[in-house]
Chains A and B, each alone.
Chain A
Amino acid sequence: MSDLQSALQGARFDGYVSVFEAQPAGMIQLRADLAEDAVAHAVHRATGATIPQPLGLSTGDRGEALWMAPDELLLRVLTDAIPELLADVQDDLRDHHHLALDVSAMRTEIRVEGAAVREVLAKVTPVDMETLKPGTVRRTRLAQVAAAIWLSNDETAHVLCFRSVATYVFDVLSVSARKGGEVGAF
């Protein structure tokens, strides 16, 4: 495992919320017609999850499926399971027009935790963070880059950004989380 190096190498910042790099996950980008049964089957087989609703996230016993676009999902599973699960998905969909790729190293997940996660994110994204429901995945702008943001509960936010800007996003979130910057509006 010493050959593996994540983008942020476990960086962490504790302000009035905590900002830290999440454990790397295995990720499969899947582009396909999400209405096809074969796709639902492949997703279920890989993750145990159903096809999520638009802007949604569904969780299964082996992973989760994030809705990225009308013809695109991001499957998040255990890193070690990737080669096998990717092969399974490709095999399940061999007769269907699709694209399935290992993109595990391409994105970094940054976790934001604390009572004020909504307002900290509201400093950097035009999404209405006050009303965003847990389980809704918003691909949006975070400061000056693209990111996906979702809450798993009212005190835990997940930010998925591209690897090359992981340091930028981490720094932006850390600045937003600095003590003294409490807004108290939500």
Chain B
Amino acid sequence: MTSYRLTTPGRRIVRGRRLNFTFDGKPHEGLHGDTIASALMAGGRTLMGRSFKYHRPRGPVTAGHEEPNALVGTGTGSRFEPNQRATTTRLHEGLRATSQNRWPTLDHDIGAINSRLSRFLPAGFYYKTFTWPAAFWEKVYEPIIRRSAGLGRPPEGPDADRYEHFYAHCDLAVVGGGVAGIAAALKAAREGKRVLLLEQDTLWGGRSITDGTMMEGEAPADWTAARIAELEGMENVTLRLNLQGSGVYDHGYLTAYEWVAEDRPGADAPRHRLWRIRAGHIITATGAIERPLPFAGNDIPGVMLASAVRDYVSDYAVTPGRRVIIVTNNDDAYRTALALLDAGVTVPLVVDARHEAAGELARQVRDRGVEIATASGITAEGGKEVTGVRVVDIAGNGSGGRLVRCDAIAMSGGWSPVPHLWSHCGGKLLWDDAQGFFYPDPDRPPLGADGMGMVSAVGAAAGDLTLSRAGLRQDSKGSLTEQPTRPVWVMPEGAGPDLRAKMFLDYQNDVKVTDVQLAAREGFVSVEHAKRYTTLGMATDQGKLSNINGLAVLSAQVGNSIPQVGTTTFRPPYVPISMGSIAGAARGDIFQPLRRTPLHDWHEARGTRWEPVGHWRRPFCYPRAGEDPHAAVMREVKNARQTLGLLDASTLGKIVVKGPDAGRFLDLLYTNMMSTLKVGRCRYGLMCSENGFLMDDGVVARLTEDTFLCHTTSGGADRIHAHMEEWLQTEWWDMQVYVANITEQWAQIAVVGPNARKVLEKLGGMDLSRDALPFMAWAEGEIAGLPARVFRISFSGELSYEIAVSANHGKALWDKLLSAGEEFGVMPYGTEALHVLRAEKGFIMIGDESDGTVIPQDLGLGWAISKRKDDYIGKRAQERVHMTDPKRWKLVGLQTLDGSVLPDGAYAVAEGTNENGQRNTQGRVTSTYHSPTLGHGIAMGLVLNGPDRMGEVLDFPGTDSTVHKARICDPVFYDKEGAKQDV
């Protein structure tokens, strides 16, 4: 294979360090410091990918992050990553890269037929074509489209790498370590500010190093090295390479993306790190990006931005061709001609759209014997590679023109500042008509918390392309004078449809000049509409190269100026970032917090089936060997009813409320009267929201005259604690009440069943007889030598003690109960058995019987609503018409005629249909279980006029077209008198 590696130095590569890699399975060689693109190009390959829609052959256009074409998959298996820019992905030994969107191979791609059909695939093609029949979408069109269009395939399996976040704080964050950014950072650092300077590249200095312009009388490399050295010596400065400013958000929040071990797969280090920066001020020194020129064939591999050609020559000592033609509308591209000439590459011709090429750089090129064709444009010739150009009159229609042979084209349509970070949070732009670009309007910056601008742009990013405003770019002879740019949006300007249909604006999404013009003719004149209709700028590169050219074409078509048409919205991230970096360390076991009770390890060792309750994990049931979960639940229920069950109730919320006004406060919080509760006693209470809806329930125990302990639902402790604090702090701040959420101080174990007292008496300690501790009382003392609070409350209907001990003693108490309970056949039971036990008793469960639209009155809990109180939270709302409507569905029991279990959530149907043609409904199932105690299915539900319809049979259609018949009954299925819990 011919080598396109030059003998000149390349500042990024290390000649002696060869690296082996593969591209589409074939072995290749590169040098340390190479990107995939530079290494492939050194081997003579510019074809690196196929385009999204037409499968056109494509090669790199750029040498940076803005690359639209040269996207490859890297890695394999759990380290595969699609759509990686070959122009920025550094080589490492053994790297495996694969091309995308081609079949069977990159060089012979069947899908390329789409390109021949492109005249039948115009803008909005999908919208227009596949409108009917609707059923064809799923089975025919979509699979075809999905297979033939698109980029890389998503990786399969879990990501093998690790990622993390990092929070950083500074007075000033400078994004971009080119000369403008370095100068801005240094100025602030010398003033004593805390400065963070970040640069996406592996080297400092930005373009100035390559372009070689003198900085304040120094060579740019020297200038840069000296200032970076000074910054490195300052305590108040943090310098980071390989860190890319990604997004700017409110109040100086800046995200940045760091490549940590990207080029060391398998290393024990994070692949990427997402920085979450809080900056007092942000300076964007993000430079500028060169624009392509829209000429026919501008997407053929070998057509590249002039600056990129320069970069490949000076950074990697690689040339895209042996005969390179330059086409430009500005002076800057002449630097590429000079760089190529210096490297020994032939430059047969420079094509300049302007009427004269009179600048200093053009003179230097002309002096070296290169022909300059002015007032000219080109059309490119070639297929999978460039073979030549036709030089045409810039103002003409593109016909005729002489053919000049070449194997690469360096194009420059002028430069555009990179305004992305400036714009993310609302910074506005101005249009520079002479240079043809948008730039940040310093009078309309994004605003910070203090109402002042929080972002500034400097250097090329501010539109100061020559850095003359920054006062930086001077050589001993003063600034180099450059001849003005001539914006060119279509080349040649009079090109007909055939040529315009080959002028690509958005390479990655295959949007051509004709597509944007068609969109405008069809009425998509708003830039946001035209963008979505044509997909201009919607690819993974987000239109970094295409936006300005596309806007210009659109504005010409609709007859408005470019600033009138405006830009589309710039959104973060600047360049796609890995999903892993967004998740950071939050994956696997620490994807989200998992709350563990003091008995968690015991449950786990027992092979429990878990049920998530909020972030808690509670045992659902404890299956024995060979037992399915249903059988386990039935066994656990029966055991608790017949002898002795243990429940880990530690997740139950526990909130202490204390103070002279505690009783008054709880009277407002609960629907019940709590202030009359006697010390030593417990009372079941309901809490409603100010909307009147039931939000939580639980047992309140009065600890002392001014102290109450409020139990909440398992998931509810934090919410109810916050609810209490909210009312105390923001409404009743005159009340003398302190509350504390002490849920986790205690391990709580429910000892349930006819033998509950016996096992506790066996453990010894406090008197738990019926007389000493009656039902709904509590006492403090010792159980088995452990300090404990014992509550005689029952959520099962059985004799039940809830024992609370210090969380540190929870495991000890559990162990003692298990061993003491052995003679009684003790078994732990889980949340599902708890549910069955409570449902047999007709006890409601927050979240089953309540759903945020249910009031206590619906649930037959009127007895828990004090009539004697003037006020409680939700009282006023419960007086509203809708709340007192007799037609509200009310709680009843439901029993199927055949003893089966009703489907959960099933609706009872009524006569007739509603306006949508659906069956009318008259009730729904809220809880449904098989009761092992009764031997048949039991359910609770909310039914229209339910309590008045005892014995009536309702139809509950299932999802499987069967209809379940169930009879309305009392919701208390077991021990209606409550005799068993009060023994």
Contacts and interface: CB of A to CB of B under 8 A. Distances in A.
Interface in B654-703: 656, 658-660
A164 B596 contact: yes
Given A3-B786, A168-B590, A168-B593, A31 B166 contact: no
Interface string A60-92: 000000000001000000000000000000000
Interface stretch (B178-186, B262-270, B512-520, B768-776): B262-270
A165 interface: yes
B144 interface: no
B808 A97 contact: no
Contact of A4 (B169, B742, B809): B809
Interface string B548-588: 00000000000000000000000000000000000001100
B167 interface: yes
B120 to A, nearest CB: 52
B598 interface: yes
Contact of B169 (A6, A128, A183): A128
Interface in A44-68: none
A103 B806 contact: no
Given A126-B276, A185-B238, A171 B589 contact: yes
A124 B164 CA distance: 9
B739 to A, nearest CB: 8
B586 A143 contact: yes
A104 B269 CA distance: 37
A92 to B, nearest CB: 16
B595 interface: yes
Interface string B241-270: 000000000000000000001000001111
A122 B164 CA distance: 11
B740 interface: yes
Contacts of A3: 785-786, 808-809, 812
A32 B811 CA distance: 33
Contacts of A181: 162, 164, 269-270
B810 interface: yes
B268 A179 contact: yes
B592 interface: yes
A11 to B, nearest CB: 12
A105 B744 contact: yes
Contact of A105 (B270, B738, B806, B812): B806
A176 B660 CA distance: 46
Nearest to A82: B806
B590 A143 contact: yes
Interface centre among B592, B593, B786, B809 (most CB of A within 10 A): B593
A123 interface: yes
B202 interface: no
B586 A144 contact: yes
Given A97-B660, A102-B745, A122-B168, A183 B273 contact: yes
A126 B168 CA distance: 8
A115 interface: no
Contacts of B659: 97, 99
A164 B595 contact: yes
B228 interface: no
Interface residues of A, number: 53
B590 A172 contact: yes
A93 B630 CA distance: 54
A164 B747 CA distance: 11
A47 to B, nearest CB: 19
Contact of B656 (A2, A5, A101, A164): A101
Given A101-B742, A143-B585, A176 B270 contact: no
A168 B585 CA distance: 12
A106 B590 contact: no
B807 A106 contact: yes
Contacts of A130: 168-169
B226 interface: no
A176 B169 CA distance: 18
A9 B932 CA distance: 40
Contact of B168 (A31, A107, A165, A185): A185
Nearest to B659: A97
B808 A5 contact: yes
Nearest to A162: B744
A12 interface: no
A106 B744 contact: yes
A3 B784 CA distance: 11
Contacts of A127: 167
A97 B597 contact: no
A154 to B, nearest CB: 15
Given A5-B598, A101-B740, A180-B261, A144 B592 contact: yes
B738 A103 contact: no
Interface string A170-182: 0110011011110
A163 B740 contact: no
A18 interface: no
Interface string B586-619: 1001101111111000000000000000011000
12 contacts: A5-B811, A31-B738, A98-B738, A104-B808, A106-B742, A123-B165, A126-B167, A128-B167, A131-B169, A167-B594, A168-B595, A172-B585
Closest 5 CB pairs of A and B: A180-B269, A3-B812, A164-B595, A105-B807, A99-B738
